[in-house]
Structure formats: structure tokens, C-alpha cells
Structure 1
Amino acid sequence: MSDSDSDEEEDLVRNKSNFNPIKGQNEILDVVCETLNNLPLNNNENRKIKCNLTIEEKNALKSLSNDESIVMKEADKGGAVVIMDSKFYKTHIMNMLSNVEYYEEIPNNSDRKTMQKIKNLLKRHKTSSSLTEKEEDFLIDYEYSESNFYGLPKIHKSRKIKEAIKSQCSEYITCPYPDDLTFRPIVGGPSAPTQRLSNLLDILLRPLCSGVKSYVQDDFDFLRHLPEKVDINSKLVTLDVINLYSNISSSLGLEAVEYWISKDPEKINGRFSSDFILEATEIVLTNNTFTFNGKHLKQIKGTAMGTKMAPTYATLTLGYLEEKMYQKVGEQFNEEVKNYIINYWKRYLDDCFIVWKFSDNELSTFKTLLNELNPDIRFTAEESTDRIPFLDILLIKENDVILADIYYKPTDTHQYLHFNSCHPRHTKRAIPDNLARRICTVVHDESIRIQRLQELKPPQPCATKQDKFQDPTINNDT
């Protein structure tokens, strides 16, 4: 292994290489490089490229993109495309941004100042945190640009839209001006000044997530943590944190990061000091600036949904609060309840789950305890004695056994890549294969599994899934 290879392995992040070998060192290598350089840039220029869209569809798409009276956004969940009146959309977003607890308007673009803060950070920690030359270049040597703010419509939480879906029973649903529609705030800044620093922090902090007792990676990992047998009188309980990303104060988040670093220091790359990580995290949290509708704004509370480190940061923050929760549970409940909660309380980001086998009064006490952990972090709860959705899984309790089924929100479109598109054939063939593999992984009951596999066939218009395992009327607002 050459020295350059070992240096590349040491770099946690780095810019794309533009290295070209020096001529004259190897005759064969020179010939290969010259041949590649002389190849035409577009070897398909004489071929007719199939297009997914007809001429009429192209013209329609161009017309829609030029129509300033509408805004098209992907739904927050379910794969639907939502077309909204632009005034309706902008009014809702501006109402969101006018909340002075979370946002403030700034006079102009402050990206240059933010980049200078990052450069100063690297200078201050030149000795305590030994970044490689390529890591430093990655963090500051690139063309940065201001972030844009947009909102993804949460149609799955709109009662009016769900009622329209049931009544209209069509591929295209019309629901004029639903006043109960909310939006998920997204700061789209892949080239923002803090984005690359956030990327580095995500790499450094992510190993700490394995130390969070409740942590699950995804729905498949969650299934592995389900108990094989449960009390026949137990309840299925899910809890959701209200607007988690927006409600984590910077002081709480930094306190949580410092706690996990001090608890598991061996999981942090030894080249980076805790002071560097904490200062870098603060820069990312306090310099989230963006533009919307011609205005420059700054998020003053919470973390941006869109920055790379956000999921890891949120996981560690709630994990920190859970450590306090375990301590308080030990003070208010007996040893059996405490150990049970520690072992069976599971969480994916802001979605929490537990099979509750104790009394309703104890459950009420536990929910109150959760909502007293921090004044900004509030939990909502749903409970059921027989079935409840969690993530993309429908959990069904039959006697002392929990069965798992695939769950789709009522607003899910079930739309996938069209087979006549010009994507590679192996990509299109992989879609039904992956859908079937997911069903076989999640659903262990043979009768449910066979039915779900049959449902992968093209459905009849307005088909419903009325059976003993799937209830399409379940509201997954959690």
C-alpha cells in the first residue's frame, strides 16, 4: 500500500479528486490516459434516445413549470404529487416563518460570515484536532450557496384530504384549500456553508447512537426487538414527539452531545477533540440561514430538517432525555417496571413504542413523566389492545403473540416506476422483487404474506383491503 492510499483511508471526508498522473512515468499508463482523453464526450450523439414523455406530456410539463399560479411539491409521505395554489402555499409557509420563537428575519445573506466562522474554528483547533489537509479543503474549499426553504405538505395528517380520498375514489383527488393542511419545514441547502461541516459531524457522532438503549435503525431492526410472547391483557402503545427537530433547543442538544462523548469517548475518532465537536455543532445549529419568497431568514431554535447531522443529533438528544427518564422511572415505579421499560422501550427518531403490561394508571403516570422531561419536548400517545401502526408496520396482537403486517397510510399512492420508462431494465425488474422481499421479511404469518404478495399485482380501480389483518381506516397520525 502506498503512502497516498493510507492518507486517503485516514480522511473521513474529502473533495473529489482531480488527480492526473504525470506523463513519462509509465508508457502504458500514458497510452491509456491519452486514449481516454481523446474519447468523445458524448458517445450517444448519433443514437436516438428514448424519452419517457410524449410531445404532449412535454408541453404540458413545460406549461405547468411556467405557471406561477401553482406550486407543485411531493407529499411528505406516500409518494403523491400535490398541486397547490401558490398564494395558499406561500401564506401557510409565511405563517410558519412568522413564529418569532423559531425564526427571525435578517437583513441580508450571512453565508460569508458563517464560512469565516468555520475557518476560524479550524484555526483555533489546529493542534487539538488534527484535521488532514483534504478534510480542511472539503470543509472550506468549495462554492457554497444560500439555502432555500420549502414545506412538504403533510396530506396524511389532513382530515379533509383523507375524507376526499374516500369519497372521490380516484387517482386524482381534488380538495380546495384544506385549512387543516400542515407542512414539514425543509431547509434545502446541499451547498450551504454549514452542510459539509454537518456531514463531518454526522460521521463522528453516528457511532454514539449504538449506545442509546432504545435505538432502532429501521423497521426491520425494530421487528428483531419485538418480544416473542406478551401478556394477553397488555396494550400496544406508540408515542410521537411533536415537531422534534424544531423543538430541540441548542443548549439541550449540546448538553446531550457532550454527555454521549464523555460516556463513550472510545467511539469518537481520536483525532478530534470534544471541544472541536461541540463548537462545530454549535456553528451548525446557530447559523441555519435561508431564503424564502425574497426574504432572508434564520432559524433560532431547533435544528434544520435538511442538514446532514440532524437525525443523529436528534437520536442522541432524545437518548439523553431517556437516560433521565430511566432514572425517574426507578424513583416512581418498582424495580420490575423500571427494568421492563429499559428493555422494551424502543424508538426510531421521534417514534416510540412499548408493549404495556401494567395498569392504566401506571401508563398515565409514565406518559406524564415523559412530558415532564423537558418543557420543549412533548409526546402524543396512541394505544390499542389489538392493533396499531408503527413506522411502516401494522402490529396485530392476537392473544399473547404479536403479528406484523405491512402498513400503508390512507394517502399512500402505491405508485412506482413505470415499466415503459427508459430506466435500465434491471432497475425496473428490481422494484417488484424488493417489494416482495420486504413483505416476506416483515410478514411471518403465511396467510397474510400470501395475501400481501397477491396485492402486488395491478389493483382494480378503487380496490380496498378489507380483511381481518389490514384496516385501511386506521389513522396513523402518530
Structure 2
Amino acid sequence: MLQKITADTPIPKFQDKAILNGTHKQIPNETAIILSLGPKFALPYQHVQEIPLFHLIADIEAVLQTNPNERIQNNNRCTIVNNMQNHINRLQQSTSNNPLERFCNSATKITRKFLKENPDIAVLQSDKGNKTVLMTTADYQTRMFSLLNDTHTYLKIDRDPTLKFQKQNNSLVQRLKQLKLVDPKTASQLTTYKASCPRIYGQPKAHKPGLPLRPVVPNMTAPSYCLSKFIGQILKSSISTTYNIKDSFTFCEYINTITLPPDYILVSFDVVSLFTCIPKSLITHNIIYNWNNIKQHTNINLDLLLEIVEFCIDSSYFKFDDKYYRQIFGTAMGNPLSPVLADLVLEGLLDTTITKLSFKPPILKKYVDDFIMAIPLNKLKQVHDILNNYDKHIQFTYELEENRRLPYLDMVLVRTENQEIRTEWYSKPIASGRFLNFHSYHSYQQKINVAKNFISRVEKLSTNLNRPEQIQIMDKYLKQNDYPKSLRNRLINNNKTRAIPTTQLSNPDENLKHTYRSLPNIPSLTHKIAKTLKRDYPDVSLAFRNIKTVANLFSKVKDSIPQDNLSNVIYSIPCQNCPSSYVGMTSNMLKTRIAAHRSNIKKLNLLREAGHTSEDIQIVELKQKTALLEHSITHHHNFDVNKVKILDQHNRTTALPILEMCHIINQQKTVNKRTDTDGLSCIYAGILQTLHNRNYKTDNTYTTDTTIRTIIANTQQPSSSVQLPDRI
């Protein structure tokens, strides 16, 4: 049992508005608290094996290589390795008495144990309101299939169309290159050979009864993703609008200068499911209508541009529950071209609407699909009908001001007695009020910046509130997110509040070209490393990324990517005749690299069957290709390419060589050549040996450095539980 939680205990408080239990099961106290903190809450590292030190080394090298001076590089390496060794020793030798760390570790164990014993519970992030939602996996599946059974929007298909779309994408890019409409570098960036099928998932709409889902299809792995982004940038640069709102601050400055005519009121209009309701014919019409503007931003002719746009729309597909679907109507949420096409269509809609109105609206602005208008009250039906009659697929709902107040974006627009507009910072009733908790293991400066930015928003967006009313709002939400009273007072009372850049390394010379890099955030270690690098690398700006977060406790509801389709990986292949293994890397799909290994092995076997010996030139040439082939030829051993194991993965291709070298050194027995690790400085030898000794236990079980794990003990669950909101 944990100690009794009081207001003075230095651990996070339970945020009742931040979690919604959509199941009949009671949740342990610690589980409710840790999940209510949100997926971005950073957790402490309890064991050396949890710390992503190989990734840290790879990312440090990315910084060091920006300065070619080897002396400077080695001086920094020595200091950094010393910091890493000291951190490992402290973590290994000491038992923390920090109540926050003990709570996070215990709550994580209890939560993992609870979710393991209840595999029918899914932990998800809500669509709006920044809530954590628990629902049964059966409910989730039912709601997802209900969405996909919409035959007007989706079509079930028999097989994965990735290769077909990838071929079409590359063919279009090749045409652009041959016509000299893009340069070779751009063509290379738009061409892909490692696309994989996008995987749809649903986010619960916690503000609606029955927890319906909003479908989301991340398209980063889709064949047409880069091409869609490229065309989207062309179209976006060609849209000239007076309607769009850049951000809340710009809109606040604008709206506070407006005085409405007598009898005018405020109303907001919202499109119902905009992306999935835009017909392709309407997109084509608006591109043709705006062609005079578009052609000024590209050399691509109209016919080819329309062909590319049509391909990007038609190649919207995804996978769910091992079944494949195509989106046959509208544009896909997650496609980078979709917001631009939607904006283009809505621009045309508003231009048409203006000409049909019997009055000129003093206010007409939009943010994505949310319009704000000032109209005479007796003209509401006229405006609504005109909007809905533009196209039968695009329909609008509206919200009328109430008591002279209308929520819009993160403000409430207040119409005064003399028809002036004033604003107040606003949080919707469905919102959890959750942002970065002060107890999160983020860097201290990052938490301070979050608080300062929040204070700044309340100050700038609340022109209708006096200072005490603003302070009350600031203090309420900062307190809710566990910011200490003394810190709250200091930040709020500083009238010149301004967020400090979150980059840890900065340079006062604005004319100096900056390089941006990121490091894994390891509390008390990464900050020291950044401080070390600041002296010799002033032109590098660093950001910290958190790897061990509460998000690791959330359910993985997307279909898993088959191992063979993963790219940017470090892998190992075991030898069938000895305990050794081969460690390699590939930026392409793993199956492409393994196919090359298979081909070389097959070629070797055919040469042997033909009577060739190890001295023959054909086999000598094969022997020089990889350490795997050298071992096979020298010792007459065979490798089992059907038992490939992924050791690591990194989204930055340039980090792979360093990661590969780290894993070669860290493996107990490898067939890799000594020269395979020559690119890694010998300064890291001591720290890598320390990790090697700790990763290989007496039972020879290898523990991967980069996998975030928590040691799960048979922890006694608390007898009492936090009372969560009732099941929907």
C-alpha cells in the first residue's frame, strides 16, 4: 500500500476530469492517478537497463560531428562519458527515498499488473478535451466496425494495395523529373521504396454519449505521403484569403476592434465531418477556378496537377483487424493534402455565400471548418440555408450566442451593450484542464515555459476580465497541475512574463546558422550533457525528448506492423552451428535486406554444389561482402534467416551506424569484423563494457538497452479505489 495521499504530499494528485471510465470495472487508486496525468507525463528510470543509452550516444555523436575538430570532439566525449558512468553508478548503488519516484515506480507496476489481468480493457486518448478514456476492447471493436461499415465512404478490399500505389507514385515522380518540373534531389525525396499500409485507429469522443469514435489514419508510411505534402505546399502558397484566422492571438486583436451594427448577433457554423464529406468533383472545380493563382507557384501544368491530386485522394487506404479498406469518398484524415484541399473548397464556399447574402457581414472568419459570423438575428435561416445548399455533402450545424456570449476557439466572445466585442480565455466544459504536470520528469525549464505560456494566453485573450479575475484562472489551473504555490505566485506576479526558449543550447547571434538536434531526456544526466556541449557547440540547439512516459501504458489499438516491413532497424541473425550471431543494419525494409542475405547464401550454396572451393574468385568475392558470408565460408556454418531478431530502431537514418556499432560491441558473441566498430570512438569503450556486463546476467539472458521496461512485481493492490466518473 502507498502512503496516504494528502494535499501536501509531493506526488501528483488525481485529476477526476482527466479520466473517464467507460467500463464496469473498478480501477486501483494508483492506476487512476497515473493514467489521469496523461500520456505525455514523463516517468523516472528505475534500472540501468531501461535507459536508452545507445540512443543517447548516437544522438550525441550527431551533435559532435557538426564540428570537425577532433580535439574538441574528444574533449566533450570524455566529459560526457564520465557523466554517464557516474549516473549509472549512482542508479545502480542507491535506493531512492524520493516519494515521487517511489510513487511513479509503484503506480506503474500496479497499472501494468492491472492491465495484464484485464486484457479486455483499452486505455485510449480522447478526441477532444485531453482526457484518458478506458473502454472495453469489445466496445472499441464494435464502434470501429460500425464506422467502417459505412459503404458510402469506405470499401473493403481483398489485398494490400501498397505496391500498386507505390509504383503509381514513383511513376508520377519520374514524369515530373523527366519534364524537369522538379530537380533530382526533390524527385529522390518524393520517391519511396519502403512504404507500408497505414493503420487506422479510433479516438473516443468523450464529450458525446456512448463514446463514439473519430477515425484517424496516420499516413506517414503511405506511398503518396511525400507527394501529397509536396502538392499541398504548392496549393497552400497559392491560397490568398481574408477569411482565415492565423491563431487565437491574431483573432483576439482583430475582434476587439469590432463594433457591430445594432441588432446584429454572433453565430458560429461548423461543418459536419468535413474531410470525409468533400466530393472530388468539388476539389477539381476549385483548383480549375483558382488556376490563375496556382500556376504562379508551380511549373506543373493543370492536367498533370489534377492527375496528381486525384491520385493522392484515390490512394487513401488503411488496415484494421488484418483487413484492408479504401476510402472511396472524401479526403482522408491524416493525409497532409486534405487540410489544404478543405481550405480551398471552403474558400470557394464563402466567396459564393457572400454574393448570395442580402447583407454584408461585419465579421466573417474561419479556422479550419469553424466559421464565425455577425448577422442580423432574422437572417439566421437565410445564412444557414445558403451554406447547406452549396453542396449536398457539406452540411453545417450552428451555435448561437447565449446571453451575449459565444465560445469560439479558446475564447468566449462577449458582445457588450454598446455592440463592442470583448474576449475571455475559455476552457470548454468537456476539457480536462490538464497540461504538463509539475511532477513530470521533464526538464524544469520546459515546465516553467508551459506555465508561462499558459499565463500569457490567459492575459492576452482576456480583454473582458480584470487582473484579479485573470489571476484566479491562472492559479486554479496551475494548482490543478500541481505547480507549487510559491512558484505560481512568482510566475503570475511577474507582469513581464515571457516564455524562455525550450532549446537548451542557444546563441545570441541571430545571424548564425543553427543546427537542431534532440537528445533522450534522462533526468539529471541529459541536462549535464547539454551544459557540456553548450560551450563548444553554440550553433547547435538541443531539444529533449521523453521516451519513458505514461503513453507506454496506453493500449496499442492499431494493427502491428509486420517485422519484415519495419525500416531503419538494427537486426541480428543467429548461426545454426554455433552460439554466434551477425548484427546488421538497414534503412530499407527489413525484408528487402533479408532477401539480399538469402540471395547471397543461395549463391554461395550453388557455388559449393558446383564444386567451388574457398580459394575460388567467386567465393572470395562473396566472402568480402559481409561478415555473415565470411563466417559461413570460413567455418562452413549456416545462418537461420528465418529467425531474424530486431535489436533496435531509430527514425533518423544517420543514427543507425552508431547504434549498430554499439550493439555489435554489446552482443556476447558476434561474427562481425573488428573493422565494423572502427567508426565508434574508443572513449566509449568503458561505458559500453559497463553496459555489456550489466546486460548479460548469470543466466546469459540478454536485455535490450533501448526497450522501455518496468520490472513487474506481485504488488498488493490497494483496498480502496478512486471514484471515477460513472460509466456512460
Structure 1 residues 298 and 40, CA, compared in 2 at 3 Å: closer, same or farther?
Answer: farther
- Counterpart amino acid of residue 152 in structure 1: Q
Cα distance, 1:416 vs. partner?
2.0
CA–CA distance in structure 2, aligned partners of residues 145 and 33 of structure 1: 42
Residue identity over aligned pairs, in percent, reads 24
Cα distance, 1:454 vs. partner?
3.8
Cα distance, 1:373 vs. partner?
0.4
2:242 is the counterpart of 1:225: no
The equivalent position to 2:397 in structure 1, one of 380, 390, 397, is: 380
- Residues 177 and 187 in structure 2, CA contact (< 8 A), matched pair in contact too: no
CA–CA distance in structure 1, aligned partners of residues 212 and 202 of structure 2: 9
- Counterpart amino acid of residue 462 in structure 2: V
* Aligned-partner SS, 1:116: helix
2:455 is the counterpart of 1:452: no
The equivalent position to 1:81 in structure 2, one of 114, 118, 132, is: 132
Structure 1 residues 423 and 285, CA, compared in 2 at 3 Å: closer, same or farther?
Answer: same
> RMSD over aligned Cα, in angstroms?
2.9
* Aligned-partner SS, 1:404: strand
Higher alpha-carbon Rg:
2
Cα distance, 1:129 vs. partner?
5.1
* Aligned-partner SS, 1:108: coil
CA–CA distance in structure 2, aligned partners of residues 325 and 219 of structure 1: 24
Deviations 1:118-160 (A, max 9, x none): 111123333445212221221224522211111111122x1x4
The equivalent position to 2:165 in structure 1, one of 96, 103, 114, is: 114
The equivalent position to 2:244 in structure 1, one of 204, 211, 215, is: 215
Provide the residue aligned with 1:410 in structure 2.
429
- Residues 102 and 299 in structure 1, CA contact (< 8 A), matched pair in contact too: yes
Provide the residue aligned with 1:475 in structure 2.
none
Unaligned residue ranges in structure 1 (runs of 5+):
1-19, 21-27, 161-177, 462-478
- Counterpart amino acid of residue 370 in structure 1: L
Cα distance, 1:283 vs. partner?
1.5
Structure 1 residues 420 and 70, CA, compared in 2 at 3 Å: closer, same or farther?
Answer: same
Structure 1 residues 223 and 276, CA, compared in 2 at 3 Å: closer, same or farther?
Answer: farther
Q: Give the total of aligned pairs.
A: 400
Structure 1 residues 315 and 41, CA, compared in 2 at 3 Å: closer, same or farther?
Answer: farther
Structure 1 residues 196 and 352, CA, compared in 2 at 3 Å: closer, same or farther?
Answer: same
Cα distance, 1:370 vs. partner?
1.0
Deviations 1:351-377 (A, max 9, x none): 011111x351x3211211111000100
2:437 is the counterpart of 1:437: no
- Residues 212 and 316 in structure 1, CA contact (< 8 A), matched pair in contact too: no
- Residues 438 and 481 in structure 2, CA contact (< 8 A), matched pair in contact too: no
Provide the residue aligned with 1:246 in structure 2.
276
- Counterpart amino acid of residue 57 in structure 1: A
Cα distance, 1:202 vs. partner?
2.5
The equivalent position to 1:206 in structure 2, one of 236, 239, 244, is: 236
- Residues 436 and 481 in structure 2, CA contact (< 8 A), matched pair in contact too: no
Alignment of 1:42-441 (within 5 A): 44=84, 46-48=86-88, 54-63=104-113, 66=116, 67-128=118-179, 130-141=181-192, 143-156=194-207, 158=208, 160=209, 178=210, 181-209=211-239, 211-226=240-255, 227-266=257-296, 268=297, 270-329=298-357, 333=358, 337=359, 340-341=360-361, 344-356=363-375, 358-360=376-378, 362-384=379-401, 386-399=404-417, 400-441=419-460
Cα distance, 1:271 vs. partner?
4.2
Structure 1 residues 320 and 420, CA, compared in 2 at 3 Å: closer, same or farther?
Answer: same
Cα distance, 1:96 vs. partner?
0.7
* Aligned-partner SS, 1:316: helix
Structure 1 residues 208 and 63, CA, compared in 2 at 3 Å: closer, same or farther?
Answer: farther
* Aligned-partner SS, 1:394: strand
CA–CA distance in structure 1, aligned partners of residues 283 and 75 of structure 2: 50
* Aligned-partner SS, 1:76: coil
CA–CA distance in structure 2, aligned partners of residues 367 and 233 of structure 1: 18
Provide the residue aligned with 2:662 in structure 1.
none
* Aligned-partner SS, 2:189: helix
- Residues 93 and 151 in structure 1, CA contact (< 8 A), matched pair in contact too: yes
Extract structure 1 runs of 4+ deviating beyond 6 A.
36-43, 49-53
- Counterpart amino acid of residue 91 in structure 1: T
- Residues 128 and 272 in structure 1, CA contact (< 8 A), matched pair in contact too: no
- Residues 129 and 271 in structure 1, CA contact (< 8 A), matched pair in contact too: no
Deviations 1:269-290 (A, max 9, x none): x344444432222111111111
Scaled by the length of structure 1, what TM-score is found? 0.76
* Aligned-partner SS, 1:458: helix
Cα distance, 1:97 vs. partner?
0.5
* Aligned-partner SS, 1:405: strand
Structure 1 residues 401 and 449, CA, compared in 2 at 3 Å: closer, same or farther?
Answer: farther
